[in-house]
Amino acid sequence: MRWIKRICIGTGAFFLVAFFVLAWTTWRSLPIHEGTVILAGPEAAITVARDKHGVPFISAVSEADAYFALGYVHAQDRLFQMEFMRRLGAGRLAEVLGSRGLASDKFMRTLGLYRHAKENFKVLDAQTIGILERYADGVNAWLETRSQLLPPEFQLLQYEPEHWKPADSLVWQKLMSLSLAGNWRDELLRAELLQSLSPHKVGELWPDAGPNELSTANAGDIPLQVIKALGSAIDAYAPPTLASNVWALDGQHTATGKPLLASDPHLGFQAPIVWYLAHLAWPGEVRVGATTPGVPLFVIGHNGHLAWGITTTHADLQDLFIERVTDDGRYLTPTGPAVFVEQTEVIDVRFRDPVTLPVRLTRHGPVVSDLAGINNAGAESDTVLALSATMLRDDDRTASGMERLSRARSVEEARAALTLFEGPQQNFVYADVNGGIGYTAAAKVPMRRAGNGTVPVPGESGVYDWLGWIPYDELPHSLRPNSGRLVNANNRPMPQAYPHLIAASFPEGYRAQRINERLDELTEDQATVEDMHTIQMDSRSSMAHDILPRLLTLATPTTEDGKHALDLLADWDGTMNRARPEPLIFLTWLEEIKSELLADDLGPLYRSFRGGRIRLIKSILTRNRHWCDNVTSLTTENCAHAVSMALENAVIWLADRPETESTALSSWRWGQFHKARFAHPLFGLIPGLSSLTSVTIETDGGDHTVNRGGFRSVRGRTPFRHGHGAGLRAVFDLDNLDRSQYVIAVGQSGHPASSQYSDLTAVWRDGGMFNMPVSGPDGPSHTLILEPLPKTP
């Protein structure tokens, strides 16, 4: 048995050595936030003082040095996040991840996001180009002068990042456009439904989409396997994440007599979060607020004179065109057959030979149906699908628009600056220290010759082509409104009589409704920063108040558990409290109702019909009751029975879940299911490291609450997981911008071993915020000096 003992000792020694090696490399890769670094690049010494949360306060003698330092600190704290972003957008993940990154690379190379980002750089103004270049210099200065090891992700993957280039920063806008414009996925879903349902019935599934133009799509022209494969590719590599809140009050409503502005953008959760707080100062100028690592521009923030926030507009900036292919391999256009522009992309793949990807371009855009090959589901056909999208333009000057906005001193100047903001369309709300507030839905929004953008349309005739852009002055906007209030939470931003098509449908306006209700409750002329943040944390669901009374009148459960659930909901005030059972019962009931009403007709497509679909459920229960006849398991088929059966099924399903821990309804908690999980994009895929680097916390809220608790999966392994919400909250006080408050989810650092990797998680969940005063960090700080190389005589 002595040999067993030797093996055990040897194995233990190996793991002990491995542990110490891992600990040493991890410690040696932590960023250094104190001391002096001498390097080429700065005009003069730059001071970087970090507060207790790791927020950098950068003080420089010039704008160029300030953005140089921002690049430096981004690289210090979030280098792998930056690297992953640019490789994702450029279609170069396979170079470091091997075959696992190949499908994503094919998707991005077909769209050509990075090609367009490089072209966009050429059309920017000199000021923006200078900022992008100085920022890149700062990133590269850290790469060249660092004394510590690269972050642990690079140690694991065993490679060194390339130098940063300005186009690497611009590709983030393309990725956001892809994420914030989910219309082409809905076009494909409608096209697939049209192969089994009538246009009228498909139209009923989107009751807010206006006149039914679905008959314009010849669904049979698109092979079903192509629709399915392309839809799966979009779900995998460009899932839409669409939501946010922003509002402003002018001085007539506030305690100080000056405006207040609140902004909390909602994106998918990850660790680290997409946002990075920063404070820049140089003579006569400040920039304070939220950046995203890899990009030098402030997405939400203030400059000492003007503050701004955003939500996405949900504009339809994408159209799929059905191009008909001739026998000789060309495609039809209004002027006759045209030749596809062909490009060859060579994708380097780690541990295997490079892969050659042919890409075809039409007059409308890239042939995206070729992406069906991602899932080996390509099909021979005399048609292809081409994507026309504003994000695929070579003359996009959006970065210049954001840079000019950051310089604006008044709401009038802000509106003028946003003429250069070209996509994705955003609802900008801004306020100045002189008392003005304003709103602009800025972007290049296409004017279509025909159609409403809801389905793929024939491309050969030109009938559905884009004619140009909605004039900037005709986009939704408001300057110094008499009401003294501006609110948007992704709700429809223009009246029904608006003459242009921005989108066929918009999200329900429940969050905006609740924000307005809370603002109405405030004492006139007494609103404060604290009031604004309290509203940001509001978790009462206006959606529940809207639909629950109707469900309560229809439901007649027969079991004791069903009756108990109904009693709980009857007394519920609609607050999505993580400690209560009612949110869990209510949302599970809604999902069961949707299943009872739609699953039979939609068949396998029901799994793709995601979301609560509250408008649809309401329309079926009030107008289109024929959908209730799909409840084939009932002898008497009507909506009341469907609603009752759904409640019983919801209670049974919840009682069988391991999360509930008990069959007593009153002991169930929303927080047992509704947990925010922030997973690391690389370590989150590796057993063992996933649990060490992921951050999970129970949260309040739901899809329709101001405190957004968005979730995608209702069934599956992690039902109701909170994966989408306000990763950033900011409230700006235009009377004294030092009183403005901020918080991000998780933490400032991207290094899992840093004390600032997850220190803000509970603060964020529980409604905490902090200041970033112009004078510098409050309390103890770590200070780093970036010292220029001595000048040679």
Instruction: Name the DSSP class of 219.
Output: G
Residue-level pLDDT at 238:
81
Question: Which regions of the chain are under pLDDT 70?
Answer: 1-24, 182, 210-220, 373-380, 630-637, 716, 780, 793
Tell how strand 426-432 and strand 331-333 pair up.
unpaired
Residue-level pLDDT at 43:
94
**CA angle in degrees (0–180, nearest 5) for 130-136-142:** 140
Q: Which long-range contacts (CB under 8 A, 24 or more apart) does 156-165 make?
A: 156/682, 156/683, 157/96, 157/97, 157/682, 159/96, 161/79, 161/83, 163/136, 163/139, 164/71, 164/75, 164/82, 164/135, 164/136, 164/139, 164/140, 165/136
d(CA 295, CA 397): 15
Tokens encoding 721 = 């997981």
* Element containing residue 103 per DSSP (H, E): helix 102-111
Tell how strand 426-432 and strand 383-389 pair up.
unpaired
Is the peptide bond preceding residue 272 cis, with omega within 30 degrees of 0? yes
Supply φ then ψ for residue 451, to 5 degrees.
85, 165
Number of Cβ within 10 Å of residue 449's Cβ equals: 12
* pLDDT tens-place string over residues 636-651: 358 999 999 999 999 9
Which residue in 503, 509, 475, 506 sits closest to 489, CA to CA?
509
Residue with tokens 């800025």: 442
10 Å CB burial of residue 667 (0-12, 13-18, 19+) is exposed
* pLDDT tens-place string over residues 765-785: 999 999 999 888 877 679 999
**CA angle in degrees (0–180, nearest 5) for 603-601-203:** 115
Contacts of 477 (CB under 8 A, 6+ apart): 415, 438, 439, 440, 441
Number of Cβ within 10 Å of residue 313's Cβ equals: 30
Instruction: Tell me the whole-structure pTM to 2 decimals.
Output: 0.93
* Element containing residue 433 per DSSP (H, E): none
d(CA 282, CA 378): 56
Residue-level pLDDT at 216:
52
Strand arrangement of the beta sheet that strand 437-442 belongs to: 35-39, 782-788, 46-50, 56-59, 276-282, 285-292, 295-302, 306-312, 426-432, 437-442, 477-479
In 3-state terms, what secondary structure has residue 672? Answer: helix
In 3-state terms, what secondary structure has residue 731? Answer: strand
Residue with tokens 């009031």: 531
Residue 328's identity, in one-letter code, is: D
Which DSSP string do the residues of 289-354 spell out, in sequence order? EEEETTEEEEEEEE-SSEEEEEEE-----EEEEEEEBPTTS-EEETTEEEPPEEEEEEE--TTS--
As a residue count, the chain comes to: 793
CB 277 within 8 A of CB 299: no
Contacts of 402 (CB under 8 A, 6+ apart): 297, 298, 299, 421
- Please state, in angstroms and as integers, the Cα–Cα distance from residue 19 to each residue in 12, 14, 22, 335, 686, following that order: 10, 9, 5, 69, 17
Tokens encoding 458 = 């024939």
Q: How many helices (H) and strands (E) does the chain have?
A: 22, 28
35: left (phi over 0), alpha (psi -120 to 50) or beta: left
